[in-house]
Structure 1
Amino acid sequence: MAATTIRPITGMLRRGLMLDLGISLGLGFVMANAYWYGYHVPRTNARDNFYKKLEEERAARIGA
């Protein structure tokens, strides 16, 4: 039986783990920003504008 040389796999797990963590954290950051600035902030501004308009109408109605 001939001896075959097998490359050691030391360090591959660490590199793979760091790559996976880097990609997942990067994608998580991108998706969080997409949600925050693409959905949350515009909805919050729309809500604030609605209540501001409502308050201005109420103030005009009572003459304050």
Structure 2
Amino acid sequence: MAAIASSGVKPITGMLRRGLILDLSIALGLGFTFGSAFWYGYHMPRTNARDNFYKKLEEQRAAKAGN
């Protein structure tokens, strides 16, 4: 037993926790970055374009009705 403990191999304590924290940090950072890129780069412009289309359509309908 003592021969194994005194060998040149370092114990690996703490490696799992450090790796887990690093992996979670990277995953959350990338998820937030790409989520924001989708939301503000694709979703919001499409939503605004749709809303503007229906607003214009409603204004045209109201103009035809004479209101």
TM-score interval, normalised by the smaller of the two chains: over 0.9
**In percent, how many aligned pairs have the same letter?**
71
The runs of 4+ residues in structure 1 deviating greater than 3 Å are none
1:36 aligns with 2:15: no
TM-score by length of 1: 0.92
Aligned length: 62
Q: Give the CA RMSD over aligned residues.
A: 1.0
TM-score by length of 2: 0.88
| 1:5 CA drift (Å) | 1.9
1:48 aligns with 2:58: no
1:22 aligns with 2:58: no
**Cα distance in structure 2, aligned partners of 1:34 and 1:5:** 48
Q: Unmatched 5+ residue regions in structure 1?
A: none
